Each structure stands twice: as structure tokens, then as C-alpha cells.
A = this chain, B = another copy of it.
Amino acid sequence: MRMLIANPNSTAALTTACVGLAREAAAPATEVTGWTNDAGPRVVDGLYADYLAGAALVRGLLALRPVPEAVVLAGFGNYGTGAVKEVLDVPVVSMAEAAMALATLLCHRFAIVTTATRMIPYTEDLVRLAGLEGRCAGVRAVPLPPIDQPPPSAEAVVEMLAAEVDRAERELGADLVILGGARLSPYATGLRPRVRLPVVEPVACAVHCAEGLVRLGLRQSKAGRFARPPGLPV
């Protein structure tokens, strides 16, 4: 199966990292290809970047030939997820939605750790739109430096994440944590041995969900919310 990992921002290094995580998670028969949103912003760090990213993403994916058999949106946000589901006829899975969906099977209440304090309300809106407020213990942030600056050492990031996960357990009553940003996904492996809570890495979740939808012959409903828009060029 040909699966596209679409990075909603233009930072190719993140695409590479996500494709790596996707390949580890994918079934052997899944052929994973990366796609970088070259016309999008370098990082989705707010609502402005979300719209710039989403518009470029949906245009880019609509034009893509050949059409992949499934699309994974490899950013922890909105950036036009519904729009992509509307314009494509193949299954489209956002890593945020997939992570939250699988988390509902595993816990009482999950926490999400995001990459900047300013992304907390943005992420809370994602949870609200998914209708999962009742399952979310809260959203916390581990501030990372701007994407064009060198990140802290992996050890330092893992340390900060571990501290935040512990706080989420103690202060919010969370019993599972979702890494809420593509930039955080690569730290999942390092983080797991450090914390008591299960750590959900969203790229892998989305890859697996997308494989499942293809296998089961399911995709976003075209009979309602995601029906092809009337004005869409054929």
C-alpha cells in the first residue's frame, strides 16, 4: 500500500524524522513516502501558521499524482485536516486524531504535552473539536526553542518531558501521555523508560490507523461532513 506522510510545514528534517517513525510503525507491505509542504511555513506555531500551512497543504495534496492510497497528516494540529478529508477520496488520518482515538482505548484520562505554552489553547481546541474534553486531563507544554535554533540535547528534552509527564500524573490525574507535536515524536523512545505512564507517539498511531482504514475499506464519510465540495476542480 502506498502511504503518504504529509508534513504540514516546510521543514524537511521533520519530514525525514516522521517518515522514519512511520516506517518503523508500518506493516511490511506499506510503502511509505514523505511529502513536505514546501509552500507552507517552517513550523506551525499558532493560528496564522495553521492557516498558511493548511491552505498550501490541501492545494498540494489535491494536485498530487499519483494519488496515494492513504494520507497521514504528520503534524499535531488542525491545519486543514477536515479540508484534506473533504477533497480527497482516500483515507486521511491526522496524527493528533489518531493518537487521541487510540488513547481512549488505553486510559482513563490522557494528558497532551505540546511544544510551546502558546500552543496550549490551540491544542485544547483540537480536543474540544474532537469531542474528547471528558477524556483529556489537560494540556501542558515543554517549551522548545524556535525551529531555526539548535534544539537542546536529546537528554535534556527527555528530562523536561519526563518532569512534565510526572506533573501530569500527579497534578492532573492523567494516566497516559500523548506527545503533542511532531518535533516531540522522536523523543518517545528515550522517554518511555523514564516514566510510569504509557507514552503515545502520534505518527505511529496515524500510520496504523491509516493502514487499518485501507484494509477495512473505510474512509472519511462522503455522505455528510466530508462530501466533495461543489466548487472543486475535477
Known contacts A58-B48, A146-B230; is-contact A200 B225 (Cβ 8 Å):
no
CB distance from A10 to the nearest CB of B (A): 11
The reply to whether A205 and B198 form a contact with Cβ atoms under 8 Å apart is no
Known contacts A87-B48, A205-B216; is-contact A131 B132 (Cβ 8 Å):
yes
The reply to whether A121 and B230 form a contact with Cβ atoms under 8 Å apart is no
Cβ-based interface call for A164 (8 A)? no
Cβ-based interface call for A20 (8 A)? no
Cβ-based interface call for A231 (8 A)? yes
- Docked Cα-Cα span, A107 to B25, in Å, equals 25
Cβ-based interface call for A54 (8 A)? yes
Q: Which residues of B contact A101 (CB under 8 A)?
A: 101-102, 104-105
| Tally of this chain's copies | 6
Cβ-based interface call for A3 (8 A)? no
Q: Which residues of B contact A104 (CB under 8 A)?
A: 97, 100-101, 130-132
Q: Which residues of B contact A80 (CB under 8 A)?
A: 47-48, 51
CB distance from A159 to the nearest CB of B (A): 19
Cβ-based interface call for A197 (8 A)? yes
Cβ-based interface call for A69 (8 A)? no
Q: Which residues of B contact A58 (CB under 8 A)?
A: 48, 51-52
Known contacts A47-B83, A225-B175, A227-B118; is-contact A201 B216 (Cβ 8 Å):
yes
CB distance from A189 to the nearest CB of B (A): 10
Within 8 A of B (CB), among A205-224: 205, 208-209, 211-213, 215-216, 218-221, 223-224
Known contacts A80-B47, A83-B50, A107-B224; is-contact A216 B198 (Cβ 8 Å):
no
- Docked Cα-Cα span, A122 to B87, in Å, equals 15
Cβ-based interface call for A183 (8 A)? no
Within 8 A of B (CB), among A134-151: 134-135, 146
**Can you name 23 A-B pairs with beta carbons within 8 Å?**
A42-B231, A46-B86, A48-B80, A54-B54, A55-B56, A101-B104, A102-B209, A104-B130, A104-B132, A105-B209, A106-B213, A106-B218, A107-B221, A107-B224, A122-B225, A128-B129, A130-B135, A131-B134, A174-B224, A196-B223, A198-B223, A208-B208, A212-B212
